[in-house]
Amino acid sequence: MLLLQFSTSHYCRKARLALGYKKVKYEVENLTPGFHILKLKPLTGLTTVPALQPTPEPTIGDSTRILHYLESHYPQPSYTLSNPEQNRYAWLLEDWLDESIGTATRFVYYDWRSKEGKSINPSLSSQLVINIVRRQYGITPASVKLAKERLQNAIEVLSTWQEKPFLVGESFSVADLAAAALLSPLALIPEYRQEYPWLFQRIAETHQTCGEPLPPGLD
C-alpha cells in the first residue's frame, strides 16, 4: 500500500494517523507541490493530497474517503463508535474539521510562517513555497482574521477534550483522529501552545495511540 502525500500536509497526517491506528503497513511517496497534479489527476481525478494506492484496487483520493476505506477493509481496531447517534456526531465533527477547521489552520499557520515563524526555515526555497501557498489559497489579512475566529470557535467546541480523553463517547473515534491531525500545525505557534496546553496534550496522546511520530513543536 502506498500513500502519496506532501510530508508537511496536515491532511496527509490525518491519513497517516488512520493507517497507524489500523496498524496497516504502507510506504510513502512524497510528491513535489505543483508537479503532484500530473501524478494525481489521472489516478483520482483530483489535484489534492493525500491519495492511497491499495494495489490492486483503484487509488483513493481525499483523506475522509481514505478513512472510510480503511474502516471497511480493516475493521479492527475500529474508530466507529458502537452508539449510532454518537458515531454520527463523530463523523459530523470529522467533516466539519476537514472542510472548515483544517483550512483555517492552514491560513493561520502559513501566515505565521511568513512572519514570526520565518526563522523555522528561512531558506529561499521554503519561503518560496510559503508564498506560493499564500497566493494559491488567497491568504490575506482579512482571511487570516476570519480563520483565527474559526479556530477560536473550534477550540471552544472541542473543549470537552480537557476533561476526558475522547471527544465523543468513551472510545477513540474519527473525531479524535481528525482533530489531532488538522490542528497539529498550531503546535509551532507559541500563542496557541501557551493558551491551550490541554489541546496539545490530547494531540500528542492521539499520535502515540496511532503510533505516529509527534508533529513539529511537540517532538
Q: What is d(CA 115, CA 85) in angstroms, rounded to the nearest whole number?
A: 43
Quote the pLDDT of residue 79: 98
Q: Which three cell numbers stand for residue 166?
A: 475522547
Q: Do 126 and 44 share a structural domain?
A: no
Residue 9 CA to residue 14 CA, distance in Å, equals 9
**Whether 69 and 130 share a structural domain:** no
Domain of residue 48, CATH code: 3.40.30.10
CATH classification of the domain holding 103: 1.20.1050.10
Is the same domain home to 202 and 132? yes
pLDDT of residue 36: 86
* Amino acid occupying residue 186: L
Please count the structural domains in the chain.
Answer: 2
Name the residue range of residue 35's domain. 2-73
183 and 88 within one domain: yes
Query: Is residue 115 domain-shared with residue 49, that is, in the same domain?
Result: no
- Residue at 218 is within a domain: no
The answer to whether position 219 is within a domain reads: no
d(CA 214, CA 219): 5
Between CA 70 and CA 19 the distance in angstroms is 7
Could you tell me if 194 and 178 are in contact, meaning their C-beta atoms sit under 8 angstroms apart? no
Listed residues 73, 103, 131: the one ending a domain: 73
Angstrom distance (rounded) from CA 113 to CA 116: 6
* Residue 216 within any structural domain of the chain: no
Based on the domain organization, do 104 and 183 belong to the same domain? yes
Chunk the chain into consecutive blocks of 10 residues (it has 219) and report each block's average pLDDT, rounded to whole numbers.
95 98 97 84 90 94 97 98 98 97 97 93 86 88 97 97 96 98 98 97 98 96
